């Protein structure tokens, strides 16, 4: 496994719409594992393939629910291939976000409180996920990357976070 280089803003690659994944081969499996390793090393909780220079509709997320945050809790791993948000809650929440492709910045972004996502897993099998709160925010942020959208495009304000704010931001 390898830690990949993260593409950073203002690289125009981040603004491209990623291509559908059509091959679920060993190359894809290696990319998925490398993305998890890269995300952990950064550190972050989500990573989209365009952030590592791959024009593929692929997202990895590793997240521990707030109530599970003890040293024995194992984070849940998600691999979303060709994801689509098929349902969004009417309720929205404003919260801080950061991004591995925009180091040193944070923004206040309004996102849907809950989403339902249709995607394929790493082996090409269909899956449907319902997510709310922070996990829903992570999925929305990462899926935006697949369409060339960055959180700064949606942010009410963008700023350099204080150390306390930086600790609150998990992406």
Please give the span between the terminal C-alpha atoms of the chain, in angstroms, as a whole number.
Answer: 22
Pair 169, 160: CB distance under 8 Å: no
> Is-catalytic flag, 142?
yes
- The rounded distance, in Å, linking the Cα atoms of 31 and 96 is 29
Residues 27, 54, 142, 165: which is the catalytic one?
142
Please provide the DSSP assignment of 28-92 as one string.
HHHHHHHHHHHHHHTT-SEEEGGGGT--B-EEEEEE--GGG-STTPPPEEEEEEEEEEEEE-S-E
How many residues are there in the chain?
Answer: 171
Cite the active site residues.
142
């Amino acid at each position: 496994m390898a830690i990949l280089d993260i593409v950073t803003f203002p690289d125009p690659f981040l603004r491209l719409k990623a291509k559908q994944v059509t091959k679920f081969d060993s190359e894809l499996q290696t990319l998925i594992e490398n993305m998890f390793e890269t995300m952990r090393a950064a550190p972050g909780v989500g990573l989209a393939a365009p952030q590592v220079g791959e024009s593929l509709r692929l997202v990895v997320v590793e997240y521990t629910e707030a109530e599970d945050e003890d040293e024995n809790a194992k984070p849940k791993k998600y691999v979303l291939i060709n994801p689509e948000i098929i349902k969004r809650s009417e309720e929205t929440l404003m919260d801080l976000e950061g991004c591995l492709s925009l180091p040193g910045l944070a923004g206040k972004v309004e996102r849907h409180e809950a989403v339902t996502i249709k995607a394929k897993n790493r082996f090409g099998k269909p899956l449907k996920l319902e997510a709310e709160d922070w996990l829903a925010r992570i999925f929305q942020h990462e899926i935006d990357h697949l369409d060339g959208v960055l959180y700064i495009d949606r942010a009410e304000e963008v700023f350099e976070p204080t150390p306390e704010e930086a600790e609150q931001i998990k992406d």
